[in-house]
Amino acid sequence: MSTIPADLMKDRYWRGTLHLFLNQPRLKSVCTTKYIDVNNRIIKVDALKRQAQPWSHSEKFMLQLALHLFNERHKVNLSDMDFLDSNNKRLAFQAMQMRFGEV
């Protein structure tokens, strides 16, 4: 992916989403210009969901959470966090704090 504009890392809708895409291994694998256009502020949701079809339940949850943090039109069931390991839970809580907290 191209360099991420500094303003996106401060934007409440982008920073939690980017945190997940940059730090969660499966999401990091799709953190490319094929799926995310930071210059035009676009996430190619349909393409990401197609790519994620064979992923595990927890990996799909992390994608859904990333998309929800970007735009609440994309729903996520927080109870699915039960499927996450401790590292993914930590990343998820950090990303939610970035989106909804006062950080």
Name which residue leads in pLDDT, 3 or 70.
70
Residue 72 confidence (pLDDT): 87
Query: Any residues with CB less than 8 A from the CB of 94 and at least 6 apart, and which?
Result: 16, 19
Question: Is the pLDDT reported for residue 103 higher than 70?
Answer: no
Mean pLDDT of 60-88: 94
Any idea what the Cα angle at residue 90 is, between residues 87 and 91, rounded to 5°? 90
Strands of 1-103 (E only): list them: 36-37, 42-43
Mean pLDDT of 66-83: 93
pTM of structure: 0.92
Q: Which residues of 79-98 are buried (b: 16+ CB within 10 A; e: fewer)?
A: eebeebeeebeebbebbbeb
pLDDT tens-place string over residues 1-58: 668 888 888 999 999 999 999 999 999 999 999 999 998 999 999 999 999 999 999 9
> What backbone phi and psi angles, to 5 degrees, belong to 54?
-85, 0
